[in-house]
Amino acid sequence: MARDKSADAPVLVIGLGRFGASAADKLEQLGREVLVVDTDPVLVQKWAGRVTHVVQADARDLDALTQIGGQDFAIAIVAVGSSVEGSVLITANLVDLGVPQIWAKAMSTSHGKILERIGAHHVVYPEAESGSRIAHLVSGQVLDFVEFDDELSLAKLRPPKVARGGALSGLGLRRRFGITVVGVTSPGEPFVYAGADTVVGTDDVIVVSGTATDIDAFARLGQ
């Protein structure tokens, strides 16, 4: 098939561990066509019917990867993490096949550097990222947290007292705490984007943006 570089392009997922299975399952929920590859016949049988296509093959073998049409995909996810050698070989094979977007799971910084050097376009550190997210959640004030980079994170949290009782334009939250209230959810109401005249209530949940450090400090302010 011809490579489709659109947002609806089919995705090749290699590896049915926790990370690969989660990615494949979510892609299916999003309506994407998915080809999942794994060497374990038990996992392949388990996922048959749950994703668009699933095949048993060893993607470390370039010929095997070619036979299943790996060269026809514009997007591939290398979800093999337990074997650094296997991850590197599979990524190298995808590079040789000219796959335009290769997302590869790394278990360590050194593993990630190797993947980048051989041609992976995006390296993901799921264990480290999950640990960081959990660290932000254990305080109890932050309900959800996503860190995009050192300068931008988003968090859902209960509003500290300083964020309540007046229009956002008069509270100076950005100037005082380095955060911006992006939106608000009131009990029984849908999410709405915040404006200058938005007033946050005690029982509301807010979504804020800022650095991870500023958000953490803001979340710890008195309720």
Q: What does the pLDDT read at residue 223? A: 66
Q: What does the pLDDT read at residue 3? A: 58
Q: What is the pLDDT along the chain (223 residues), one digit of tens a residue?
A: 545 555 578 899 999 988 899 899 888 888 889 999 999 999 999 999 888 899 999 999 999 999 999 999 999 999 986 789 999 999 999 999 999 999 999 988 999 999 999 999 999 888 777 777 777 777 667 899 888 877 889 999 999 999 998 999 999 999 999 999 999 999 999 999 999 999 999 999 999 999 988 998 999 887 6
CATH topology of domain 11-127: Rossmann fold (3.40.50)
Measured from the Cβ of residue 187, the count of other Cβ atoms closer than 10 Å reads 8
**Contact in structure between 32 and 26 (CB atoms under 8 Å):** no
CATH topology of domain 136-219: Alpha-Beta Plaits (3.30.70)
pLDDT in tens, 52-93: 899 999 999 999 999 999 999 999 999 986 789 999 999 999
Tokens linked to 113 = 């550097």
Q: What does the pLDDT read at residue 205? A: 95
* Domain range list for the chain: 11-127, 136-219
Q: What does the pLDDT read at residue 203? A: 94
Q: What does the pLDDT read at residue 137? A: 77
